[in-house]
Chain A
């Protein structure tokens, strides 16, 4: 087991930027090393939060579907929404979390399409969820 893998990845990124990049002689190689360092930084950020963020999204979507199905009698696809609220990932491997997350997002897109024309409050709630999703998954990485 690697302890604090995010921090280790960050250290590797810094190592590339401070020890390897200065010794690279071509502009192309320097750009490559800089990009790889930046990408390792992004991976470091995502590594720490990946499972937590996917589960946070899934739980928020489930809560939103519960509220929506309870409050709106004219919803389409109610059965699928309700089924999703009771679903759990097959495991905590990211592949399984991603699978459930993707299904949640697909249903959310359909619900959002409906809410835009039929339920301003739900529409607002979905935008708020998307904002929180984006904030959770924000990268702090310098551009090339």
Chain B
């Protein structure tokens, strides 16, 4: 039987009391909105009479992205231990949840910073946008140049011989499995990606998989206090994350990367931080791939919502207007008659 939020909090406090072998009392719990892949709670506790706050992420019956919880947890641990990016400290992963019904993980709560994309458009953020952009794409560049074995992620992630082909194959499968209606724009984009598949660059890194506005915590001074949502992390090509971070979907201003700076400026920061130079043709492939991957996720969420696996409104939102927007981005990029309303990062 499903539990109320309050009951969930009591169960979490009892669980952590046992885990820590100490007294643990629930002070407050709130469910955090906007997480399409897990049920996420901020839980305030008294541990041995000392206040402590944690984030609990519990599997739902269905999520927007099908991922394994141990994969995400181990990725958090690897990144936290290395320090290449700020991430919340992972505390425990529980796969046999008992009264909590679904598997869950617990991590430290990062109190400073917010994730809301719209907050970046508020007037007080204007003077620090360049600082924040510098931090954002420098962090991504640092991750790009770090070999996966130095992070230790190669111990639980497979290493593809052809990252582009591997990713394309996976997301093609998602589109084929989940599209509720024939998708002529996605089909054309997949054919284009097949035809222009780049050779492996030979550079491999840990790819976050969803590095975008909304998945990091930022402060009013332009600092990034945590990078979140590593459930799609994998070993792959460094250009994958960069292209994803620049997708026009993440910014209402069509010429800005992630609501912050022009795309060319973001790329410049990334190139300096990573030490890599971008080949425009290869990068065009990864940009179009990013839009196809996003479209696959939106189609998948529409499928889950429509077929009744879940009735979370965020999945319907991803499934209706997002498919429309992403299709128009792909049309803009691929149609021979395109006026290129969306700026290409590298024309």
The reply on A82 being an interface residue by CB < 8 A is no
Contact: A31 with B34, CB < 8 Å?
Answer: yes
Q: How far is the CB of A143 from chain B (nearest CB, A)?
A: 8
Chain B: how many interface residues by the 8 Å CB criterion?
Answer: 30
Contact: A134 with B182, CB < 8 Å?
Answer: no
The reply on B127 being an interface residue by CB < 8 A is no
Complex alpha-carbon distance, A98 and B180, angstroms: 11
Residue of B34, B324, B334, B335 near A137 (CB, 8 A) is B324
Give the contact-size bracket for chain A: 35 or more
CB neighbours (8 Å) of A27 from chain B are 30-33
Mostly, the B contact residues are: helix
Residue of chain A at shortest CB distance from B118: A143
Complex alpha-carbon distance, A138 and B325, angstroms: 8
Residue of A101, A106, A124, A131 near B331 (CB, 8 A) is A131
Residue of chain A at shortest CB distance from B182: A105
The reply on B320 being an interface residue by CB < 8 A is yes
Contact: B313 with A39, CB < 8 Å?
Answer: yes
Complex alpha-carbon distance, A32 and B191, angstroms: 38
For the complex of A and B, 5 pairs with smallest distance between CB atoms = A31-B33, A105-B182, A35-B313, A28-B31, A139-B321
**Which of B's residues lie within 8 Å of A, judged by CB?**
30-34, 117, 181-185, 187-188, 191, 252, 313-314, 316-317, 320-321, 324-325, 327-328, 331, 334-337
**Which of A's residues lie within 8 Å of B, judged by CB?**
26-28, 30-32, 35-36, 38-39, 42, 46, 98, 101-102, 105-106, 108-109, 112-113, 116, 120, 123-124, 126-128, 130-131, 134, 137-139, 141, 143-144
